[in-house]
Amino acid sequence: MRILIIAMGRSGGYSLLNWIGSEKKYQTIHEPTKDNFDMLSIYKIRLLEKNKNNIVVKYLISEIENELDTFNWSNWDKVIGLIRNDIQECAISHYWALSSNSITWRECYEISNQWLIENEKEIKEEESRLQKYKEIISNIPQIELMVSYENIYQGNEDINRLTHYLGIQKINSHSLLDNRNRLRNVIDVKSKRSLI
């Protein structure tokens, strides 16, 4: 089976990708874009071109928004959309990642009220852009299952829908979707899972 996730940035897509890969024992491919021609990107693109089965792939909507009309939807057995309903929280997280000196976007962090005040204008601009991406994902007719950050990581409604949709009989790795493993405001960094 070939599973596609189309996600907003900072919506938990990396964790969802790894959770599905772990549950299905599938290879995961994270954001195989042609934007950066480093060896890892070239490897990911070649894996996709082989039409390999038993994979789960995550794209950011920002990476493929201009290709939606020509995207090869028939190449996928299951298509999942991942949005974040709280656009303001998503914008804060996204702008922090863009403006930080972090090597990876998956490090634990805390944000002060002062930082929020100093970056209010930029966060508002991010909100506008992310709202557009949420609407684009919500209107892709090929998406068969729409899930949200809030209903996966703050509640369990979408976990049940995902297991049913993907034919997962028994959940083996609860920790990958555990809200205590959020990147933001994590008190005990040692409790962070190793996949993030």
147: CATH: 3.40.50
Q: Which pLDDT score is estimated for 186?
A: 37
Residue 194 has pLDDT above 80, yes or no: no
Q: Which pLDDT score is estimated for 192?
A: 37
**Position 119 in a domain:** yes
Question: pLDDT tens digit string along 20-53?
Answer: 999 999 988 888 875 655 566 666 666 666 667 8
Residue 108 has pLDDT above 80, yes or no: no
**Position 47 in a domain:** yes
Number of structural domains the chain divides into: 1
Task: Provide the pLDDT confidence category of residue 155 given band limits of 50, 70 and 90.
Answer: confident
State mean pLDDT over 131-156: 95
**Position 56 in a domain:** yes
Return the number of other C-beta atoms located less than 10 Å from residue 191's C-beta. Answer: 12
**Position 182 in a domain:** yes
CB 80 within 8 A of CB 143: yes
Residue 195 has pLDDT above 50, yes or no: no
Q: Which phi and psi (to 5°) does residue 109 adopt?
A: -155, 160
Classify the C-alpha dihedral 174-150-76-193 as positive or negative. negative
**Position 166 in a domain:** yes
Domain that holds residue 22: 2-191
Alpha-helical segments (H) within the chain? 13-24, 39-49, 61-64, 87-99, 113-118, 120-138, 149, 157-166
**Position 196 in a domain:** no
Reduced to 3 states (helix: H, G, I; strand: E, B; else coil), residue 56 is strand
Residue 64 has pLDDT above 50, yes or no: yes
Residue 156 has pLDDT above 90, yes or no: no
**Position 167 in a domain:** yes
